[in-house]
A and B are shown apart, each in its own frame.
Chain A
């Protein structure tokens, strides 16, 4: 956004450059006959001093102003004090996560220099060799400031490849009005799965569902399902590296969601953006209890101010222990970008420096721009008051302890698990048979997998 777009040519375009590019293209096409494929990665003539591109999805004109401003301020602060400039570029959220924009850019060697990823994407990018090792730029003291559980899914062989900007644990939200109508209050929140199902049925009316889980297939659905798997002691990979998916814990977790739908307490389809959207589902009255993350606090504050709600932690199965899952995005630098060194420094400077500005930045993001748990202890301390009161306080005290980081899995594993959830929850398939079949597929895949370990 440095200058106005030209009608037909980019600012750096020249006839000679065009010819050179065409020639390179043609030559590379010929050369490719002997070595590899004609998709050329190092085509663009990259100027060293061009600003680094930082891709994310908090675009101006988006919904939450403080989020956009946070990004803009960060980049402005960096540019004030550093030679190598950074420039923000935006990709609409849904396309960022699921669209062709990033994949196309990376496949053609045109990826951004700095970008953000979720744990679900980590292995794909790491195994593709595009994640820059950030460890050299992070002070030992700063590193100790990040709890191990927060960093683990962004590390391989003791090296850090991504810096988390937030931790977003999952919980259950309920509508106070719906509770009151049913003669219930905050003391009636369910502790076990059975109680939750019972309550869900009780709160179901011809106009409303008692309970709501994510129904659309995707990374998010898997993410919200994992805690129910873990609570019974389930895992998808055992210590021996083989699939551990064919277990009673898997079967009971699959059956739990299936029962919720079959009993009529939970819908087969959710409203709005999905089950991560509390305004569309809970505040609109479509459901009485919703499985959603910590971000719903700011969501409801911004878009449904007068809606009274309560939060409780995920119920557990009879034989299980409490655990929830924590998601969140991380800054990463492109190791094949135009200046990976500077890109790495930028990430570390922004989120993992011992300077007060860096700590404040993390704290501000998690309190003012969003309503998240901070990934750094010092940030939690810096805003002790803010993290101690209201719903956030409830999360900090009651829900967040016991958070396990969102697992990182290759896309193929995601798909196998996703299909298992879909087939049982909506397709009515037998949980045991589904778990066994999925486990076989997992084994087949894991046997041929050669990348960083799944976590």
Chain B
């Protein structure tokens, strides 16, 4: 500890004291022995921490934090979209309370998230378990599972639109053959949201599979070996080893998929291309409504106020999750 050097962010090879890294080629010549820094090792760790975080923190501040702050302020203004700003205080928020479409959109958003998050968890984990073993066949299958994610969402959503179109769509025919004839998967307000959720799951699950695969690789094989020796079957192994040890990954997946469902641009793209929020606003999630208000109506102030509410609700939700899991740390530290 004591011989750590202070400046952690210097380029490689300049500020290194002491001996060799664990990996990589051994460079044993000319070890510069640095003088012990006057800064205490605790402070060195502080400085190192700040410097490591600095580039990202700065970038996020400028390109996300600042716009978000501006957006928050914008919510207090009435904006015409052509450069006129009039301070109106909380008027936009008051308008929201009595805006039927805002509440309708909030309801649709909640429904969408409540369906999407568990489905993504189950499907993502299911696919990961299916192709968990690393071999050539599974490598190929994994790529196929992940393939939807490689195509532009805008184009895939168009293809889906065609697959579920009334009467002649492949899936519509399939439904017909199963006895559900005459249904409109995207054109009926009672079905459209389910269809949109299904396409979202289809598109996103490969992504979550990848994350789960990463998590599964981290579970030491010896646990399974020991359990097998003790006579645990596949289900017991899954229940008593896999699931508990996957907690950090699960935490991440649930949190990210929730954010993706509520504020994600992918959910937006799917809905915007497939239904534009219709029919009869049945798939109009908040982000679609916000987008409409901002870019269709030029009501940037009102849109910003709704965005603020959206972000704040998400903060509360994720904050709760953090509290419950102690920062997603679980058994570590």
Contacts and interface: CB of A to CB of B under 8 A. Distances in A.
Complex: A in contact with B (CB within 8 Å): yes
Contact of A103 (B101, B162, B277, B294): B294
A183 B37 CA distance: 97
Given A217-B277, A268-B184, A37 B77 contact: yes
B167 A100 contact: no
B188 A426 contact: yes
Contacts of A286: 165, 167-168
Given A38-B73, A128-B80, A206-B167, A426 B187 contact: yes
Interface in B68-84: 70, 73-74, 77, 79-84
B276 interface: yes
Contact of A271 (B82, B165, B282): B165
Contacts of B280: 419, 422-423, 426-427, 429
- Interface of A (DSSP majority class): loop
A107 B186 contact: no
Contact of A412 (B167, B279, B297): B297
Interface string A106-140: 11010100000000000011011110000000000
Contacts of A215: 187, 278-279
Contacts of A125: 82
Interface in B136-171: 161-162, 164-168
A21 interface: no
Contacts of B87: 36-37
A411 to B, nearest CB: 4
B166 A268 contact: yes
B289 to A, nearest CB: 10
A24 interface: no
A340 interface: no
B98 to A, nearest CB: 10
Interface in B173-209: 182, 184, 186-189
A229 to B, nearest CB: 19
B248 interface: no
User: Most B CB atoms within 10 A — which of A39, A41, A129?
Assistant: A39
B249 to A, nearest CB: 35
Nearest to A451: B80
A125 B82 CA distance: 8
Contacts of B166: 209, 267-269
* Centre residue among A107, A128, A130, A218 by max chain B CB count within 10 A: A107
A60 interface: no
> Which of A36, A206, A216, A412 is the most central at the interface, judged by chain B CB atoms within 10 Å of its CB?
A216
A127 B80 contact: yes
Contact of A217 (B79, B162, B165, B278): B278
B308 interface: no
A37 B73 contact: yes
A99 interface: yes
Given A207-B167, A209-B166, A419-B281, A269 B184 contact: yes
Interface of B: 70, 73-74, 77, 79-85, 87, 101, 161-162, 164-168, 182, 184, 186-189, 275-282, 291-292, 294-298, 300
26 contacts: A37-B74, A39-B85, A41-B83, A98-B295, A99-B295, A100-B294, A103-B298, A104-B295, A106-B82, A106-B298, A107-B298, A109-B83, A128-B83, A128-B84, A209-B166, A215-B279, A217-B279, A218-B276, A269-B164, A269-B187, A415-B292, A415-B297, A419-B281, A422-B281, A426-B188, A426-B189
Interface of A: 36-39, 41, 98-100, 103-104, 106-107, 109, 111, 124-125, 127-130, 206-209, 215-218, 264, 267-271, 286, 336, 411-412, 415, 419, 422-423, 425-427, 429
Given A111-B82, A415-B101, 10 more contacts: A36-B85, A39-B70, A103-B81, A129-B84, A130-B82, A217-B276, A267-B167, A268-B187, A270-B165, A286-B167
> Sorted from nearest, which 9 A-B pairs have the closest CB atoms?
A268-B187, A128-B82, A37-B85, A427-B280, A426-B279, A269-B187, A268-B184, A411-B297, A217-B278
